[in-house]
Amino acid sequence: MQNAHIPLLGFVAASGTGKTTLLTKLIPLLKKHGLRIGLIKHSHHNFDIDHQGKDSYRLREAGASPVMLVSPYRRAIITELTSAQEPCLNEQLTLFDQSELDLVLIEGFKAEAYPKIEVHRAALKHPLLYPDDPHIIAIATDTPLQIPDYLTQLDLNHPQHIADFILTLL
């Protein structure tokens, strides 16, 4: 990833496996160690962060793109993408201010080449991704697995252990 200026670490799995839930537990644990964390989440679904009736929505619907919404507390930039193709993580990194961060966590973008932790729940019976993805460095799972020695197995039910693994990587 030529546009990554700091370490990236992804979390990949089938939808509904618990990537977001895990990340919401990991981020505070990593922040306790003073890490400044950014996050990029890939979605296969259409979404709106502004809603009908709001000024930003009306301005975007009128044809403005990008639209920046700013308050003393946060900033959002809404840009209409003209093509219906999947976004490229490397291109998104050019738009993501990394200057005051120590780590960018990525949720999704599983087809891209960057270090990833696979999230696996045996009860969901989804096939493991690591055999087809050489960029998976660890598997966070709720059930012990027989995996190759080059992968680290992490207990999905112990976010602190996963946070420790990430801290060791950094």
CATH code of the domain in which 142 resides: 3.40.50.300
The CA-atom distances, in angstroms, between 151 and each of 24, 49, 75, 133, 139 are 23, 37, 38, 12, 7
pLDDT in tens, 62-108: 888 888 888 899 888 888 887 778 889 999 999 999 999 999 999 98
Say how many domains are in the chain.
2
Cα dihedral 135, 140, 141, 144 in deg (nearest 10): 80
Asked whether residue 30 falls in the same domain as residue 53, the answer is no
Residue 109, sorted as left (phi over 0), alpha (psi -120 to 50) or beta, turns out to be: left
Query: Strand, helix or coil at 92?
Result: helix
pLDDT in tens, 129-148: 999 999 999 999 999 999 99
Distance from C-alpha of 81 to C-alpha of 139, rounded to nearest angstrom: 33
pLDDT band at 45 (very low <50, low <70, confident <90, very high): low
Q: Which domain holds residue 56?
A: 46-85
Q: What is the pTM of this model?
A: 0.89
Element (H, E) at 160: helix 159-169
